[in-house]
A and B are shown apart, each in its own frame.
Chain A
Amino acid sequence: MHYDPILAWQSMPDLLAGTATTFAVLLPVLVLGLMLALPIALARLETGPRAKAAAGYIAFFRGVPSLVLLYLVYSGLPQLSIVRDTFLWTFFSNAYFCAWVGLTLTHSGYMAEIIRGGLAAVPTGVIEASTALGLTPRQTLFRLRLPMAARYVLKAYQNELLIMVKSTSAVSAITLVDLTAAANTVFDYTYDPFTPLVTAAAIYWCIVNLMRTGFTLADRKLNRHLART
């Protein structure tokens, strides 16, 4: 097994196209997952039936592998006539839509847990003070609690984000050609497994480390007040 730099260079356009697909799947998932996770996290912090429902949601979507969810959404849902014969089909017939739905559900489960942990770590004194000063609950949430929670959970969010980047390789199972699938396609045509897979691994490594550097910079900026000597 030796590395073939010529093949690596020739297959770059295909691999980069796969990388574009990976990001096309990843970015909407991050945004939608966050938006979906916030109400779930807030519900989880309350008491009563809503909290139980939120806890159930989190437990389900953290307990089921993302691959199963992707298959369920892509192959399983079209079996139900309510999906196949209505306007919903314009959405679910598209593999990208199915990937976004499946991965967002998984991501939101983890994000809800992370946000909940962050919100719980905000000192209650701050919240009491803001209520005393006349801020509405919504203002307290968005201007005080969430920004403070963000600082606490930066490390956890970084972990989750990096895991999400690597989880996108699951979408190759529902016909999307992401970076992993693109490397496999090159392998299918050339019968050389080593070169395309190692090149794809190198590209993933660069993406992950760029993100890590970004987070280190963000951490330095957000937590400067905790000056470490």
Chain B
Amino acid sequence: MTNAILKWSLATAMLLGATAMATAEKLVLGNEGSYPPFSMVDASGKLTGFEPELAREMCKRMNVECDIVVMDFKGLIPALLQNKLDAVATQTKPLPERKAKVLFGRPILFNPDSYVVKADKDYTFTREGMKGVRIGLQRGSAQAKYIDEQFGDAVEVVFYDNPDQIRLDLTSGRLDMSLGPKISWTNEFLTKPQGQGWKFAGGDLWTGGGEQGSSWIARKNSQELLDRMDKTIDTIIADCTFTKLRKQFMEVELLPEEAACR
């Protein structure tokens, strides 16, 4: 008899424990995974970089269990729209057609773009000056739209799924130039041996459709989730954890609010 009572109570306890775990909130976040130093996969398969670490800190403070899924940048918004993701934790520029479909949170960083060209070449960035230039761009990116609007058919655009592939082709000579965020390209290319002989050109460009910051995003029906995420990130910035995390991966400051943490 006591044996049976023992077994039943054990089973009930396990069941309650399981339901307790199951009711802990779970969020599925999407991250690009191949955008150093903001996100990368190291040799042991672990997703690391500034944005995943920031996301993990945010989830800890929000008391939720986060599952970070890695996929190519161009797949993030479609996956979000199809409910495969609850939010996207990769910096995204607030282009008008994106704002029509998703909600943008508070800016995570300000990261201007610049052209990456060979050090010994000079280009005039007009339709005539760029005729026949082979430029490597990322699929689905704001830079791709910008180039399409600025130069149309004058340039030859080659699309890639992630920036590492663009850098491979730049160094092997298949491309003349690329357009990308200054921070990532400084960290991953210009300061590395394969980037010797390349430089920025054309000044700082803001290709975000008029707005300058890049943010994380959520669906139009997830305003409440986005507000929670924004508030948590505000606290992370305020107590300088943001700066601490950022310093692990890059020297450049990302937000004006970081000035208080110098």
Contact = CB atoms under 8 A, between A and B. Distances in A.
Nearest to B81: A191
Given A177-B159, A185-B139, A188-B139, A193 B173 contact: no
B173 A187 contact: no
Contacts of A175: 158-160, 169
Interface residues of A, number: 16
Interface string A170-200: 0000010100010011011101010000000
Nearest to B100: A191
Contact of A188 (B74, B158, B168, B169): B74
Contacts of B74: 188
Nearest to A77: B172
A69 B158 CA distance: 21
Contacts of A84: 172-173
Nearest to A190: B97
Given A175-B160, A185-B139, A191-B78, A93 B173 contact: yes
B181 interface: no
B157 to A, nearest CB: 9
A157 to B, nearest CB: 34
B172 A93 contact: yes
A210 to B, nearest CB: 29
Interface in A129-158: none
Contacts, number: 30
Nearest to B101: A191
B82 to A, nearest CB: 9
B173 A89 contact: yes
Contacts of A223: none
A53 B6 CA distance: 71
Q: Mostly helix, strand, loop or mixed at chain A's interface?
A: helix
Interface in B136-192: 139-140, 145, 158-160, 168-169, 172-174
Contacts of B169: 175
A95 B74 CA distance: 22
Nearest to B172: A78
Contacts of B58: none
A75 B164 CA distance: 12
Interface in A68-112: 75, 78, 84, 89, 93, 95
B77 interface: yes
A193 B78 contact: yes
Interface of B: 74, 77-78, 81, 101, 139-140, 145, 158-160, 168-169, 172-174
Given A175-B160, A187-B78, A191-B101, 12 more contacts: A75-B168, A84-B173, A89-B173, A93-B173, A95-B158, A95-B174, A175-B169, A185-B139, A185-B159, A189-B145, A191-B77, A191-B81
Interface of A: 75, 78, 84, 89, 93, 95, 175, 177, 181, 184-185, 187-189, 191, 193
